[in-house]
Amino acid sequence: MVVMNSLGILLIFLILVVVSTDKYYTASGEKTLDVTVNLSNTDDSIGTYEVHITVYGKETIEQSKVIDTSTQNCPDDIDSLCYVSAGTFSFASQLVPVDSKIKVCVKETSSETQNCVYGKNTEENTPEIITAGVPHLN
C-alpha cells in the first residue's frame, strides 16, 4: 500500500513538472528566436543610441540595450558601409510563431530622435538579421 501511494505521489509530481516546464521556459536548453541587429549610417553619427526590439508573437515581447557607435566594423570590400553590431537579442521561440512581426527602433538618447524598421520571423532556423539606420541629427 505504501508503494502504491508513493508511486501515485511520484506520478502527480512528474505531471506537475511536465506541465510547468511546458508553460514556462528556462534559459538553458530551450529553442530561441535570435535577432541580430546591426546599425548602419554610423560613420557620421558617433554617439549613444538605445536599440529597442518589439516582437509581436503570441504576446508582445520587448528588449532594449544602449549601444555606443564609436567602435565600428568596416568590411574590406569597397561597396560595404561601416556598421556597428548591436548584438543578438534572444526570445523564446515558442512565443514567436513563423511570420511574426519584429520591430527594431534606434533612438538617439539625448534628442529622442528615432528610426524604426520592421522584419519578421522566417521559417529558417538561423538568426534573423535586421539592419537599422541610426537617426541623423540636424
pLDDT in tens, 58-112: 999 999 999 988 877 666 654 556 788 899 999 999 999 999 999 999 999 888 8
Q: What is the pLDDT of residue 44?
A: 75
Q: Is the pLDDT of residue 1 over 60?
A: no
DSSP β-ladder status, 60-68 and 101-108: unpaired
Judge whether 103 and 118 are in contact, CB under 8 Å: yes
> What is the C-alpha to C-alpha distance for residues 134 and 97, in angstroms, rounded to an integer?
28
* Total-model pTM: 0.72
Q: Is the pLDDT of residue 46 over 60?
A: yes
Q: Which CATH architecture has domain 26-133?
A: Sandwich (2.60)
Q: Is the pLDDT of residue 23 over 80?
A: no
- Strand residues in the chain grouped as ranges (E): 32-40, 48-56, 60-68, 84-92, 101-108, 114-120, 128-133
Cell 521561440 belongs to residue: 93
